Structure 1
Amino acid sequence: MERVIYTLVWAAILQGLLLGMLYLLSNKHRSRANSILGFFILAFVFEAFTFVPVEDLWGYPTGGYFTLPEVKMLFPVLFLHYVLEKIGRAHHYLYFLKVHYFLAFAVIAITPLNIFLFVFRGETIYQLLDFQTVEGVFMTMQYYAFVLTLVGMALAIREIQNYKTLVKNTFSDLAMLQIRWLWQFVLGVSPIVLVWGLELGRIAFGGGGGSDVTSFTWLLIIIFIYFLSYKAYQQKTLWQQPPGPAGKYGNRKDPHAETDHKDYAALGQKLEGFMESTKIYNQHDLTLHELSKAVDISPRLISGCINRHFNNNFAEWVNGFRVDAARSKLEDPAFNHLSVEGIGSDSGFKSRSAMYAAFRKLTGHTPGYFRRE
């Protein structure tokens, strides 16, 4: 069993290392948000690496405080920075981020100092300072990092919620996809933070040495690395920056607005022609990604076209085709043998309430108003 666990650990370390380097070095995925995510993943990989029992390296002890780089201070800063960068709000927290990046790297710098002392003087900080002092500094850093994580999560949740409200008003489907991903990202980190807090609480109330809680924390870190890898494979559009709304939210001007308008006009004609010829809108659960696969155009372009050219969101744009199709049948006596609800279902509406809501919004009338006896 122990061999299986260590195999999973090393597999997660390798997978996380490759994924982190991908978002740091890949030109295809290059963006500031992805670079931050790459560093965040590599920090988790390093934390998972400490699960592997290595007592010393060439005589240098690796099991004590600050003998290996302490990256826990980086977690909350990278976490918050990634979320804020993803929604274009990082510049509003620039001072906060800079201060805590400085503190995080100051803590990490203790390890190179420790190595320097060991190489050139044959001693570590334990010989310069007493054990209680080193332990006190270490635990203070741990508690501060945990509190900072809670603050970072609270700020991230607030900003995601604010961004969700803005995106809802500006009709960006790709941005809504990004929001769902950010919520999953926050929820994925939450169990790790919870178990970490339990371990710190155990230590604060007099618990000493290692515990099963610590091992469980490492297990959650490994699961989180696998989760990130799965999402990277499943939905590649998550790593794109949302068009339009994120820039507006961050007060950034879109330099491609004029050229995009011309491109979207041609794309809009193509999308309308495809919808009319295939009647794909008759599918009750048609999604942006299903349409993207069917028409062989990226979700990003389709979403941008619907948002900017049609000034609409995906759901209401599709409902427009459904309303037109249903209205045409309602006005045709040849379809009088079908109920209003039956015509709605044949036209792609999932329920009676959805059909009536769409008709009232787009025509100002109920479906029955158009029925000809």
Structure 2
Amino acid sequence: MNWIMIAIGMTLLGIALIWYTRFRLKHTQVANREVDEHELEVIFNKTIDLIQSEKYFLNKNLKLSNLASELSCNERQLSRSINKYGNGNFNKFINSFRIEYAKEILIGGQFDHYTIEAIAEDCGFANKVSFYNAFKSCTGMSPTEFRALKQSS
């Protein structure tokens, strides 16, 4: 009888310990996720500030690792923050800044004598094809069509 009571007591203690560990682990994971989300948002905001103020997007050799190093964070955190808050991956994110800059050049007037290839290079694109593809993806028209439309209006 004594052994049965001890066995039942140990079983109940084991069940309670397992339940407590699982509950505690889930609670800790939720708390870590909340801290993690805030940290990702802070990293993303710092990324935007740095890219805009220093015009990092103009560097055609820009890599995630360069930016992470400059922001003093790891690549995984930076990538996650861009994926979550930047509506796409790193390349798409950087290209969106490049396209906005290209649109300013194309609309501006003082660069009308520039070829599309020269504008692509000035905006940080490695080649004309990637510039055309990114521009069309963002605006729905080619840079040449965009330039013609803005010049006619």
SS of the residue 2:114 aligns to:
coil
1:294: which partner in 2? 70
The answer to which structure, 1 or 2, has the higher relative contact order (CA under 8 A, 6+ apart) is: 2
| 2:40 is equivalent to residue 264 of structure 1 | yes
2:13: which partner in 1? none
Letter in 1 for 2:46: K
Cα drift, residue 261 of structure 1: 2.5
Question: Which consecutive residues of structure 2, in runs of 5 or more, have no partner in the other structure?
Answer: 1-28
| 2:52 is equivalent to residue 276 of structure 1 | yes
**What is the rounded CA distance, in whole Å, between the counterparts of 1:346 and 1:275 in structure 2?**
16
Aligned ranges 1:100-111 → 2 under 5 Å? none
Asked whether the 8 Å contact 1:261–1:309 carries over to 2, the reply is no
Number of positions where the alignment pairs a residue of Structure 1 with one of Structure 2: 120
**What is the rounded CA distance, in whole Å, between the counterparts of 2:40 and 2:72 in structure 1?**
15
Asked whether the 8 Å contact 1:306–1:317 carries over to 2, the reply is yes
**What is the rounded CA distance, in whole Å, between the counterparts of 2:139 and 2:39 in structure 1?**
29
Letter in 2 for 1:322: R
| 2:137 is equivalent to residue 361 of structure 1 | yes
Asked whether the 8 Å contact 1:282–1:348 carries over to 2, the reply is yes
Letter in 1 for 2:130: A
Asked whether the 8 Å contact 2:132–2:142 carries over to 1, the reply is yes
Letter in 1 for 2:120: G
Q: 1:122-167: per-residue Cα shift (whole Å, max 9, x none)?
A: xxxxxxxxxxxxxxxxxxxxxxxxxxxxxxxxxxxxxxxxxxxxxx
**Aligned match for 2:106, one of 310, 313, 330:** 330
Greater per-residue helix proportion: 2
Cα drift, residue 311 of structure 1: 3.3
**What is the rounded CA distance, in whole Å, between the counterparts of 1:295 and 1:326 in structure 2?**
25
| 2:115 is equivalent to residue 339 of structure 1 | yes
Letter in 1 for 2:142: T
**Aligned match for 1:321, one of 97, 104, 116:** 97
**What is the rounded CA distance, in whole Å, between the counterparts of 1:294 and 1:259 in structure 2?**
22
Task: Pick closer, same or farther for the CA change 1:257–1:369 going to 2, 3 Å.
Answer: farther
TM-score, normalised by the number of residues in structure 2: 0.71
Aligned ranges 1:119-268 → 2 under 5 Å? 255=30, 256-268=32-44
**What is the rounded CA distance, in whole Å, between the counterparts of 1:281 and 1:332 in structure 2?**
19
Cα drift, residue 324 of structure 1: 0.7
Question: Which consecutive residues of structure 1, in runs of 5 or more, have no partner in the other structure?
Answer: 1-253
SS of the residue 1:285 aligns to:
coil
**What is the rounded CA distance, in whole Å, between the counterparts of 1:291 and 1:269 in structure 2?**
13
Cα drift, residue 323 of structure 1: 0.6
2:146: which partner in 1? 370
**What is the rounded CA distance, in whole Å, between the counterparts of 2:129 and 2:105 in structure 1?**
18
What RMSD, in angstroms, separates the aligned Cα atoms of the two structures? 1.7
**What is the rounded CA distance, in whole Å, between the counterparts of 2:85 and 2:36 in structure 1?**
9
1:309: which partner in 2? 85
Q: 1:31-59: per-residue Cα shift (whole Å, max 9, x none)?
A: xxxxxxxxxxxxxxxxxxxxxxxxxxxxx
Cα drift, residue 325 of structure 1: 0.7
2:126: which partner in 1? 350
Cα drift, residue 352 of structure 1: 0.8
Asked whether the 8 Å contact 2:87–2:93 carries over to 1, the reply is no
Letter in 2 for 1:341: E
**What is the rounded CA distance, in whole Å, between the counterparts of 1:353 and 1:362 in structure 2?**
14
**What is the rounded CA distance, in whole Å, between the counterparts of 2:144 and 2:33 in structure 1?**
42
Cα drift, residue 368 of structure 1: 1.6
TM-score, normalised by the number of residues in structure 1: 0.31
